[in-house]
Structure 1
Amino acid sequence: MPFLIENDYSPVYELYISLHAFIARRRHALLDLGKDWAVRVRHGLNKDFASRLARIKPESRACVIVPSLVWKTPPAYRQDIGAYLNWLASLPANDTFSLFQTSARIEVLNKCSDLQKARDQAVEVLNLWYEQYYRAVESDLAPKLAEKAELQKIAAKDANPEDFIEQLTFGLRMQPIAATQTVVLIPQYHFSPWDVYDLTRDSLILYYPANIDTVEPGKPSLALLRLTRALSDENRLRILRFLSEGQRSFSEVVRFSGLAKSTVHHHLVALRASGLVRILVADGNPGNPDRFTLRPGVTEYVSEQLSGFLNE
């Protein structure tokens, strides 16, 4: 069955995603913003709040950072962060339960035994995060993300759904499944170059890298930097050649390379971020990649990125 594409935008999404990027300490080195961004943000936070965020365990994180709730939020509360947080805080217990049941990740429902408590904690943390960090960057980011969402909404009208999703996510190839699946596409900045996803009961919500950074004249783009870094390693080049011969499972890549699974995973992550590798997803869940292969047009893409910089 085909995918139903929905493009969405609300400033509240980025509030959640920015907090997710900061709390996910193991990912800092892999983000375009880098470790320096996390250090600067931490220094700008109240010490008690910074300590509180550091104590949020991975298993509790899913109960606090639930951006998919915004998808089912009434329109009147979606376009202003303060209005959204006040609305969420005022929801009766039954409505809170219904909201989480219809729009939270499936694993969130398994981890969060007390949804009312999870809601209260999330509202408190998000309010503090907004006051101490996100408010300062919102006026710059919000218009750019809104414009990106509108442009992609127009582009999606005449696009093949699978091609469109792959283009926005730098290589995530969703293959049709038995039931029609709604895929909600939302631009995000803080977690770039990665996409973030929420698999709910009736939708796949993908927060794709918006690529809204302004490139200074004479400096390479982030896309070109990712590309050159990915190609600077011999093992990655060998893996690319192996993937150019056809679709491969993760186990096949491990056997071919002779490297540890964790090392292969690291290399595939770098190649994926550079836009060189396609990940085939067969069951509608991006967390379960089925096969890896070289993306079509890779040599042309490399040439375009380099030529664009040299000839600007």
Structure 2
Amino acid sequence: MKYKVSVDVSVVYECLSSFMIYVTKKWTDNLDIGPSFMQDLDQRLPEEVKSKLNEARNCPFLDFDVLYALIMLRDPHMDDQPAAFLDWLDSTPVEELYSRLITYMPVLSQDELQRVIDTYPALMRLWYHHYFQEAEHEYRLLLEEDAQEKSILLSKMEPESLVEYATGGVILDNLPVTSVILFPGVHFRPINTYCFYENLLLIQYPVDVPEDNEDDPPMVLLRMTDALAHPERLRLLRFVAHEPKTVGEIGKHLALSDERLLHHLVILRAAGLLRSHVDTTDENGRFSLRPDGAAELQMFLESYMRLT
């Protein structure tokens, strides 16, 4: 199915993403920020703040799909500020918010939405005050600059090619959607996140943070060299070089446990060396070699060596 691609950008997405990582306590082993993100915040945040934020751990995980959708459907005239968004949630009748959401989340009840509105604005204000606001300006500049670049490419690339480029290898196969919205994120780098809605897919793609010292190799180059430093990962790339393979096929060919295979897949995807074929008919998806990955490795290596 053909789909239309658009690019959205808001620092509110980033505030929610950082909040989500902290309160769910997931993914950090696979993120650039690493487990130290949690450890540093647990030391810095007051006990009463941590206690309040931990209340969100007992809420349904799908609440975050609702919150991302509300950001996507935010009032276009309000300031791009987390506080403005949260004020908008508090001041807008739940019936109006529900009417915006129901097209994209038809199984959501108004009572469920009311619970989300009653729960999260206060927690996100705490998060903003005690963590996010101090780096908001830096994130905003990174996000807006990257989104501007991707917006320019909208008129120069086919939709499928732009999605693959922005996400570092996501291929959308047979998805029943007519719209794909891309938005940049920093905290979740180097992975992509997805929110599947009725007839629409919202994808967060990673934006790298510039190195503090220009003599340091860029993180994107380190991901690639690390990914290629293991024989099992090289054999995996060779196996998927000519056609997409399922997780089961890869695991059987390489005689790897599910846990070890997933570890390798995450590293290769983060390095931009694997394509991930997203298909609603296959829960685990398929993977294939990303040809642009080898070219990008040479480009980043030559750039760091100052050969170009």
Q: Same fold (TM over 0.5)?
A: yes
Q: CA deviation at 1:64?
A: 5.0
Q: CA deviation at 1:140?
A: 1.3
Matched, 1:188 2:189: no
Q: Percent identity?
A: 27
Residues in 2 aligned to 1:259 and 1:59: alpha-carbon distance in whole angstroms: 35
Residues in 1 aligned to 2:228 and 2:212: alpha-carbon distance in whole angstroms: 21
Helix, strand or coil at the partner of 1:57: helix
Q: Indicate the larger mover: 71-80 or 85-94.
A: 71-80
Matched, 1:304 2:302: no
Helix, strand or coil at the partner of 2:60: helix
Cα offsets for 1:29-87 (capped at 9, x unmatched): 21111222222222222212213334533762432562221111111235222221111
Residues in 2 aligned to 1:42 and 1:102: alpha-carbon distance in whole angstroms: 39
Residues in 2 aligned to 1:122 and 1:10: alpha-carbon distance in whole angstroms: 18
Q: CA deviation at 1:124?
A: 1.0
Matched, 1:148 2:146: yes
Matched, 1:169 2:174: no
Q: CA deviation at 1:252?
A: 0.2
Q: CA deviation at 1:239?
A: 0.9
Instruction: Tell me the residue number matched to 1:53.
Output: 53
CA contact (8 A) 2:20 2:64 kept: no
Q: Which amino acid aligns with 1:73?
A: R
Go from structure 1 to structure 2 and tell me whether the alpha carbon gap of 1:196 and 1:291 turns closer, same or farther (over 3 Å shift). same
Cα offsets for 1:71-112 (capped at 9, x unmatched): 1111123522222111101222322433443455x78x38x9
Helix, strand or coil at the partner of 2:302: helix
Go from structure 1 to structure 2 and tell me whether the alpha carbon gap of 1:294 and 1:216 turns closer, same or farther (over 3 Å shift). same
Residues in 2 aligned to 1:222 and 1:304: alpha-carbon distance in whole angstroms: 14
CA contact (8 A) 2:5 2:182 kept: yes
Q: CA deviation at 1:199?
A: 1.1
Residues in 1 aligned to 2:288 and 2:64: alpha-carbon distance in whole angstroms: 35
Question: Residues 42-121 of structure 1 correspond to what in structure 2 (within 5 A)?
Answer: 42-57=42-57, 60-63=60-63, 66-77=67-78, 79-103=80-104, 109=108, 114-121=112-119
Instruction: Tell me the residue number matched to 1:274.
Output: 271
CA contact (8 A) 2:10 2:80 kept: yes
Residues in 2 aligned to 1:180 and 1:121: alpha-carbon distance in whole angstroms: 30
CA contact (8 A) 1:18 1:190 kept: yes
Residues in 1 aligned to 2:23 and 2:120: alpha-carbon distance in whole angstroms: 13
Helix, strand or coil at the partner of 2:268: helix
CA contact (8 A) 1:187 1:210 kept: yes
Query: Aligned pairs, how many?
Result: 306
Go from structure 1 to structure 2 and tell me whether the alpha carbon gap of 1:227 and 1:292 turns closer, same or farther (over 3 Å shift). same
Q: Indicate the larger mover: 75-84 or 130-139.
A: 75-84
Instruction: Tell me the residue number matched to 2:222.
Output: 225
Matched, 1:203 2:204: no
Q: Which amino acid aligns with 1:195?
A: N
Question: Residues 286-297 of structure 1 correspond to what in structure 2 (within 5 A)?
Answer: 288-297=283-292
Cα offsets for 1:16-37 (capped at 9, x unmatched): 1111222342311211112222
CA contact (8 A) 2:69 2:101 kept: no
Helix, strand or coil at the partner of 1:290: strand
Residues in 2 aligned to 1:92 and 1:262: alpha-carbon distance in whole angstroms: 46
Q: CA deviation at 1:188?
A: 0.7
Q: Which amino acid aligns with 1:122?
A: Y
Residues in 1 aligned to 2:172 and 2:211: alpha-carbon distance in whole angstroms: 30
Go from structure 1 to structure 2 and tell me whether the alpha carbon gap of 1:298 and 1:82 turns closer, same or farther (over 3 Å shift). closer
Residues in 2 aligned to 1:24 and 1:225: alpha-carbon distance in whole angstroms: 27
Q: Which amino acid aligns with 2:250?
A: V
Matched, 1:132 2:127: no
Helix, strand or coil at the partner of 2:201: strand
CA contact (8 A) 1:169 1:195 kept: yes
Q: CA deviation at 1:127?
A: 0.8
Q: Which amino acid aligns with 2:260?
A: T
Q: CA deviation at 1:191?
A: 0.5
Matched, 1:252 2:253: no
Q: Which amino acid aligns with 1:87?
A: W
Instruction: Tell me the residue number matched to 1:36.
Output: 36
Structure 2 stretches of 5 or more lacking a match? none
Go from structure 1 to structure 2 and tell me whether the alpha carbon gap of 1:281 and 1:58 turns closer, same or farther (over 3 Å shift). farther
Go from structure 1 to structure 2 and tell me whether the alpha carbon gap of 1:15 and 1:290 turns closer, same or farther (over 3 Å shift). same
Residues in 2 aligned to 1:258 and 1:59: alpha-carbon distance in whole angstroms: 38
Q: Indicate the larger mover: 239-248 or 270-279.
A: 239-248
CA contact (8 A) 1:71 1:103 kept: no
